[in-house]
Amino acid sequence: MVSGTLFLRRKNSWPPEEYISRTTLQLFDFDSSAPPAHAWRRRLNSHANILKGFSITFMEAIRMVQLGIRLWSYIRKEASYGRKAPIDPFTRESCKPSASQGVPLGGMGSGSISRGFRGDFRQWQIIPGICEPSPVMENQFSIFISREGGNKKIASVLAPGRHEGQGKAGDQGISSWGWNLNGQHSTYHALFPRAWTIYDGEPDPELKISCRQISPFIPHNYGDSSLPTAVFVYTLVNTGRERAKVSLLFTWANSIGGISHFSGDHVNEPFIGEDGVSGVLLHHKTARGNPPVTFAIAACESQNVSVTVLPSFGLSEGSYITAKDMWGGMVEDGQFDRANFGTGPSIPSSPGETACAAVSASTWVEAHGKCTVAFALAWSSPKVKFLKGSSYHRRYTKFYGTSERAAVDLVHDALTNYKRWEEEIENWQSPILNDERLPEWYKFTLFNELYFLVAGGTVWIDSLLSTPNMRNDHHQLIEVENADVKVTETEVDCRPDSNKSDDVGRFLYLEGVEYIMWCTYDVHFYASFALLELFPKIELNIQRDFAKAVLSEDGRKVKFLAAGNCGIRKVRGAVPHDLGTHDPWNELNAYNIHDTSKWKDLNPKFVLQVYRDFAATRDMSFGVDVWPAVRAAMEYMEQFDRDDDGLIENDGFPDQTYDTWTVHGVSAYCGCLWLAALQAAAAMAVELGDSSFAERCKSKFLKAKPSFEKKLWNGSYFNYDSGSSSNSKSIQADQLAGQWYTASSGLPSLFDGFKIRNALQKIYDFNVMKVKGGRMGAVNGMHPSGKVDESCMQSREIWSGITYAVAATMILTGMEEEAFKTAEGIFIAGWSEDGYGYWFQTPEGWTIDGHFRSLMYMRPLSIWGMQQALSLPKAIPEGPKINIMDGIHISPGRFRSSHNETGVRKIAKQAKYLQNSVFHCSC
């Protein structure tokens, strides 16, 4: 952990007392209704930042003109098939990016809905790869209050601001509602996966209201964490002298975002469930053949709380009951007719019509009394279907079945289990939140960055096989659109055995909501620390998917847009860039800007991640399963060592994750990753008994390390590359990525401590502190003159995930103060009230003038690499250092056969994993 009391200063500390009166906090000091001491906070009436998207310079545009033409043509071709290209910089969303994001709803992998800090429901991602960012304004919580004697009535939507069209004569829609909340006395408090909204005397000065939002994101819980549901617990405290009748209203439109509510044939249906849970089902018939979705909104009836429903109302004058009628009835009565529960399914909605539903929960709150009212939301879409036809059952169906009516059971279980969820969440978070040595901003940013595992377009399926009538046989030739081309896959069985504990299904998450590729591997390298820490079985299965992919080949022709040349989609031995877009697992490498089979970082990253995961979990069956892919990945890279010095060379194009930043010769980034991979592969080979391969890797490492240092070390840091371009001597923030993984995996350092510390100090002094005094993070490239490297778009950007990774490397090197100062720049620019407004949508990066690129991006999850670094036990300085490489003895003539797997076969046979491992493949 962090040494001493270095961070006892309360920098960027946001105590709740600065946002809520102490008296109100004391009133909520029960039932978890008070916001936590450590949370991200906003006033509901706080200003909305105007987000500025990135733009390229004139020279960049000139250099990229051919790529732009080819990309535009490709995007149009995909559109002609009804598909969205995985990267489309030309199409701007009709809804401008908003700075009002908040904690998303639900667990992982069943579609997601975000909820902004002002209370709006937005960022709809129910259909894989499609994000509808605009809020559905009909989805609201509202409150109706009357005092005994009827001398005072208050009615208001619990969201600030005036609705468009409010007060318009004759309006029958939601602008006729009471949008009376100012928001100046209301605050939002976020600590993922929970959020609190505190209404401190508004809209009723004598009523204090806490709304607690809870989702089942529970580390190491592979059941509840997959559930598409959330709970909203309202705690009401009456400070007046008269008892008050309070009715809370939950309204919901039959919509999955965008204009989906206009498609017609949507049906609403009331229900009465068990244990007093009652509400409305909203059956949504999706367009374009996508699987249907059923929403459930519900409240829990008790001795003190009465629940009534209005199954259907509309927004226009032709509706049987309009939004205005509904609101007027609530103002008058505070509830609906109980006979509504017996009305049955509504008439299907007509095209162009919006069908909405409402649930009311009414209670009396005694003078100076307290009361709790709980609502739940669930959405059941049991089947996930990708555009090219493959469909699967979502993970939650393992526990709730495939009926769309499972939404009834989901809201019931949410309302009866949320207290247990909260207890488990608090047990997970408390040790970190209570660690007084950690900066305040770090604690809540660490948890809130996890929003992406819900809102990052995640898909979690139960079965590894497609549903019937879909392509699902990985042991045969698969016919594709072009009848002249076939895909061949090596017979590799990576399905988790039903008798193994790691059978938790398959998991996908997007690179970003703008870059719709699943499990982009060069970025997963950074983000995977979060999954390894919180859901390690998911992480191991993602690695199994990539291990299978390494040993497969897809011979279909692809045009690579940067150079305009053609190649095959997937080369055997090469780690794929991603698991696909429109047919994941079956059609890899949706990315087609460059030929990623020639990238120099993917294979080393695979080896490093596999070893880190193997070392962390000590899962021998995992090691046995993936070892042939590790060997193949390492052997594949030998072709890029063109001068036989043990090092791989880059090829004069952007052949790594920085895919606009050209590299010549040996590079600090890829070279360091390669050195680390040689060491990791050697260590894993030793543990699996493959001594021949261990010796081979050590031999290469002993040749490569001095060559790397000779070509790149300049006495202060490692040059960007060994070429002679204008940026060859640039200071790259990410130059020690390999050392980060080496230290994270418990392996010996790649270089002596002097070089590592000097390089990190140079990065800190130049890439961090010379950019607005360290208040923006680490810029990717900086000239030794102190000027930002502007040779390309990416060299001049600050990447949030890279900054966290650099900070993690600093922690592992004992530079804690520099580490937190470096990472704090991401908090200041992205999360603070004075920042750019990137909260709960942290982008890939931004420029020094605050222009973002790619909101809601995977890589910032690397902040969990910092937490892993903090959690590793400190080495004993006086003790002898055991170097696993020293224990590998090189014997002359041992490298004639590169396929000696005797040791691993022996382990596999002893563990009875051989027939389910990859060793029976016809490679």
Task: List pLDDT tens digits, range 61-112.
Answer: 898 899 999 999 999 999 999 999 999 988 876 667 889 999 999 999 999 9
Contact 672, 738 (CB under 8 A): yes
Q: Is residue 509 domain-shared with residue 422, that is, in the same domain?
A: no
| b/e sequence 660-687, b meaning 16+ C-beta within 10 Å | bbbbbbbbbbbbbbbbbbbbbbbbbbbb
| H helix or E strand, kind and range, residue 880 | none
pLDDT, tens digit (0-9, with 9 covering 90-100), for 843-886: 999 999 999 999 999 999 999 999 999 998 754 333 334 577 77
What is the DSSP-derived secondary structure letter of residue 175?
Answer: G
Task: Among 388, 410, 434, give the residue marking a domain's end.
Answer: 434
Q: Is residue 387 domain-shared with residue 516, that is, in the same domain?
A: no
Q: Is residue 307 domain-shared with residue 399, that is, in the same domain?
A: yes
**Which CATH number fits the domain that encloses residue 308?**
2.70.98.10
- Nearest by Cα to 727 from 774, 796, 659, 656: 796
Q: Is residue 513 domain-shared with residue 396, that is, in the same domain?
A: no
Residue 252 lies in a domain: yes
| In the chain, % of residues over pLDDT 70 | 88
d(CA 603, CA 615): 18
Average pLDDT, the chain: 89
Q: Is residue 405 domain-shared with residue 551, that is, in the same domain?
A: no
**Cβ-based neighbour number of residue 64 at 10 Å:** 17
d(CA 670, CA 656): 8
Task: Give the chain's length.
Answer: 923
* The two three-digit tokens of residue 732, written as one number: 């790259």
d(CA 619, CA 295): 40
Contact 305, 363 (CB under 8 A): yes
Contact 235, 247 (CB under 8 A): no
Contact 295, 381 (CB under 8 A): no
The answer on pLDDT for 3 being more than 80 is no
The answer on pLDDT for 144 being more than 70 is yes
Output the pLDDT for position 463: 65
| In the chain, % of residues over pLDDT 90 | 79
Output the pLDDT for position 167: 53
d(CA 491, CA 757): 46
Q: How many domains does the chain have?
A: 2
Task: Among 410, 434, 458, give the residue marking a domain's end.
Answer: 434
d(CA 803, CA 830): 12
Tell me the sheet residues that pair with 781: 732
- Nearest by Cα to 862 from 850, 844, 889: 844
Output the pLDDT for position 152: 78
d(CA 105, CA 213): 8
Q: Is residue 413 domain-shared with residue 537, that is, in the same domain?
A: no
Contact 522, 599 (CB under 8 A): yes
Residue 593 lies in a domain: yes
* The two three-digit tokens of residue 328, written as one number: 């007027």
Q: Is residue 199 domain-shared with residue 329, that is, in the same domain?
A: yes
Q: Is residue 406 domain-shared with residue 310, that is, in the same domain?
A: yes
Residue 561 lies in a domain: yes
Mode of pairing for the β-strands spanning 845-846 and 293-300 = unpaired
Q: Kindly list the distances between the CA atom of residue 441 and the CA atoms of 116, 448, 585, 764, 855, in Å, as whole numbers in the listed order.
A: 20, 11, 38, 20, 21
d(CA 269, CA 339): 13
Output the pLDDT for position 170: 66
Residue 881 lies in a domain: no
Tell me the sheet residues that pair with 777: none
Residue 5 lies in a domain: no
**Is 0.75 surpassed by the pTM of this model?**
yes
Give the E-state strand segments of 598-671 in sequence order: 650-651, 664-665
Mode of pairing for the β-strands spanning 554-559 and 566-570 = antiparallel
What is the DSSP-derived secondary structure letter of residue 341?
Answer: G
Output the pLDDT for position 874: 55
d(CA 280, CA 295): 8
Q: Kindly list the distances between the CA atom of residue 279 and the CA atoms of 8, 306, 362, 411, in Å, as whole numbers in the listed order.
A: 49, 12, 14, 9
Q: Is residue 508 domain-shared with residue 363, that is, in the same domain?
A: no
Q: Sign of torsion, CA 637 638 640 645?
A: positive
The range of the structural domain enclosing residue 181 comes to 93-164+172-434
7-11, 463-467, 913-917: the lowest-pLDDT one? 913-917
Residue 537 lies in a domain: yes
| Band (563; pLDDT cuts 50, 70, 90) | very high
Mode of pairing for the β-strands spanning 153-157 and 104-105 = unpaired
Q: Is residue 534 domain-shared with residue 612, that is, in the same domain?
A: yes
| H helix or E strand, kind and range, residue 849 | none
Output the pLDDT for position 581: 96
Q: Kindly list the distances between the CA atom of residue 76 and the CA atoms of 70, 241, 387, in Å, as whole numbers in the listed order.
A: 10, 66, 16
68-72, 146-150, 561-565: the lowest-pLDDT one? 146-150
Contact 267, 284 (CB under 8 A): no
CA 434 to chain centroid, in Å, comes to 25
Mode of pairing for the β-strands spanning 356-365 and 370-380 = unpaired
Mode of pairing for the β-strands spanning 851-853 and 52-53 = parallel
Q: Is residue 404 domain-shared with residue 548, that is, in the same domain?
A: no
Output the pLDDT for position 194: 98
Contact 587, 554 (CB under 8 A): yes
Residue 40 lies in a domain: no
Question: Looking up tokens 């009628």, which residue turns up?
Answer: 325
Task: Among 856, 871, 886, give the residue marking a domain's end.
Answer: 871
The answer on pLDDT for 905 being more than 60 is no
157-166, 271-280, 516-525: the lowest-pLDDT one? 157-166
The answer on pLDDT for 464 being more than 60 is no
Residue 233 lies in a domain: yes
Q: Kindly list the distances between the CA atom of residue 215 and the CA atoms of 147, 324, 533, 685, in Å, as whole numbers in the listed order.
A: 33, 32, 19, 42
d(CA 244, CA 170): 32
Output the pLDDT for position 50: 84
| Band (324; pLDDT cuts 50, 70, 90) | very high
* The two three-digit tokens of residue 359, written as one number: 């649930």
* The two three-digit tokens of residue 403, written as one number: 């009926």
d(CA 523, CA 540): 16
**Which CATH number fits the domain that encloses residue 635?**
1.50.10.10
| H helix or E strand, kind and range, residue 76 | helix 65-80
Mean pLDDT score, 213-234: 98
**Cβ-based neighbour number of residue 914 at 10 Å:** 17
pLDDT, tens digit (0-9, with 9 covering 90-100), for 342-364: 999 999 999 989 999 999 999 99
d(CA 908, CA 920): 11
Q: Is residue 200 domain-shared with residue 104, that is, in the same domain?
A: yes
The answer on pLDDT for 911 being more than 70 is no
